[in-house]
């Protein structure tokens, strides 16, 4: 059993942050890795990125968007409540090294996943430029945290209610036009956003890493649920990723596979709130 030591509702309560007491995971976790949790005995297993950790306090942080049955159940938990199982850290850590200037592009809840990676690149001595986006002002998350670990930060909103009006890809393209020292781009967010980021960075020939979010069940390479196609070859995101070279990812197939259970997921949520 893993205790929730802190709960914070972000972005109109649609995004929630939990600090969870998990000393063994906190000790080992590296940026880019994730956990698989089960809220209770009968709960489904879902993956969540380790958005941050405090090794000394034995705490890991997850930040999740409420999108369905399990995340709605998680939102109903309070500080002091327990999560039944937390397994991790899983997946390959982000490859972090000192390379110069790196550009981080995050959208929606993807910013939570990006934060730990951006922080690690900053700690490794890089110049970090971050672009974070959301649909509207109230959905912007981790602005202060990203500002703290970034040398430059641009915030975008689709509707222009805060920061730059438009998608993250617009300031991205501007940076790529104006700066010639960007060595690496990290992009995490909705599939369509990552796909568009990669289309732009391809033109400028800049290595681009994306973090993929296929359906995961066991998280250990056994079930095949998280199958993704990279450079025409099958990979399992839970053990070979979740980070991959964005130019090699088959985003269309990922999109298709992620929508296979949409109807069941909707029914499940409706049934659970009846
Ligand atoms: C490596 C990885 C890291 C992730 N990190 C985060 C994170 O930090 N914050 C966050 O908000 N979300 C994260 N996700 C997505 C998160 O796992 C899903 O939002 C969650 O499982 C939804 O469950 P649900 O029952 O609430 O919704 P459901 O109604 O069951 O599903 C809603 C959508 O969530 C996704 N999903 C559902 N079940 C799974 C599953 N077992 N594995 C993967 N995706 C699933 C699907 O796209 C689905 O359409 C991550 C996914 C992966 C693969
Ligand atoms: S989640 Fe089962 S193989 Fe990756």
Residues 147 and 189 in one domain: yes
Note whether 196 and 253 are same-domain residues.
Answer: no
The verdict on the CB of residue 36 being under 6 Å from ligand 1 is no
**Residues sharing a CB contact under 8 Å with residue 71, sequence separation 6 or more, in sequence order:** 16, 46, 64, 65
- Reported pTM: 0.91
- Cβ of 258 below 6 Å from ligand 1: yes
State how far the Cα of 248 lies from the Cα of 212, in Å rounded to an integer: 12
Residue ending a domain, choose from 57, 90, 123: 90
* Total number of domains in the chain: 3
| Residues 178-203 pLDDT 10s | 999 999 999 999 999 999 999 999 99
CA distance 99 to 145: 22
Given a cut of 70, whether residue 232 has pLDDT beyond it is yes
Say how far apart CA 37 and CA 47 lie, in whole Å.
6
- In three-state secondary structure terms, 77 is coil
pLDDT of residue 268: 63
Least confident of 67-71, 110-114, 221-225, 267-271: 267-271
pLDDT digits (tens, 9 = 90+) for 23-79: 999 999 999 999 999 999 988 999 999 999 999 999 999 999 998 889 999 999 999
The boundaries of the domain holding residue 19 are 2-90
Residue of 47, 72, 262, 266 to test ligand 1 pocket, by largest number of atoms within 8 Å of CB: 47
Average pLDDT score, the chain:
92
Q: Using the mean position of ligand 1's atoms as its centre, give its distance from the Cα of residue 204 in Å.
A: 32
**With 90 as the cut, is the pLDDT of residue 258 above it?**
no
Is residue 186 located within the same domain as residue 143?
yes
**Mean pLDDT, residues 234-261:** 91
């Amino acid at each position: 059993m893993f205790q929730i030591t802190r709960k914070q509702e972000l972005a109109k309560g649609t995004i929630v942050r939990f600090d969870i007491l998990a000393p063994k995971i906190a000790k080992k976790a590296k940026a880019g890795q994730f956990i698989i949790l089960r809220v209770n005995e009968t709960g489904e297993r879902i993956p969540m990125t380790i958005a941050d950790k405090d090794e000394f306090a034995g705490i890991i942080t997850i930040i999740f968007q409420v999108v369905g049955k399990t995340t709605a159940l998680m939102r109903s938990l309070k500080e002091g409540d327990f999560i039944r199982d937390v397994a991790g850290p899983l997946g390959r850590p982000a490859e972090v090294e000192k390379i110069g200037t790196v550009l981080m592009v995050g959208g929606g809840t993807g910013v939570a996943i990006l934060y730990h990676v951006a922080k690690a690149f900053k700690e490794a001595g890089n110049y970090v430029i971050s672009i974070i986006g959301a649909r509207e002002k109230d959905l912007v998350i981790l602005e202060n945290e990203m500002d703290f670990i970034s040398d430059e930060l641009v915030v975008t909103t689709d509707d222009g209610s805060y920061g730059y009006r438009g998608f993250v890809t617009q300031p991205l393209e501007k940076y790529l036009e104006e700066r010639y020292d960007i060595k690496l781009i990290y992009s995490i967010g909705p599939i369509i956003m990552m796909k568009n980021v990669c289309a732009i960075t391809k033109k400028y020939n800049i290595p681009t890493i994306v973090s993929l979010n296929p359906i995961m069940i066991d998280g250990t390479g056994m079930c095949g649920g998280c199958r993704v196609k990279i450079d025409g070859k099958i990979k399992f995101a839970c053990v070979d990723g979740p980070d991959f070279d964005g130019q090699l990812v088959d985003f269309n197939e990922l999109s298709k596979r992620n929508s296979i259970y949409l109807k069941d997921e909707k029914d499940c949520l409706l049934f659970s709130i009846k």
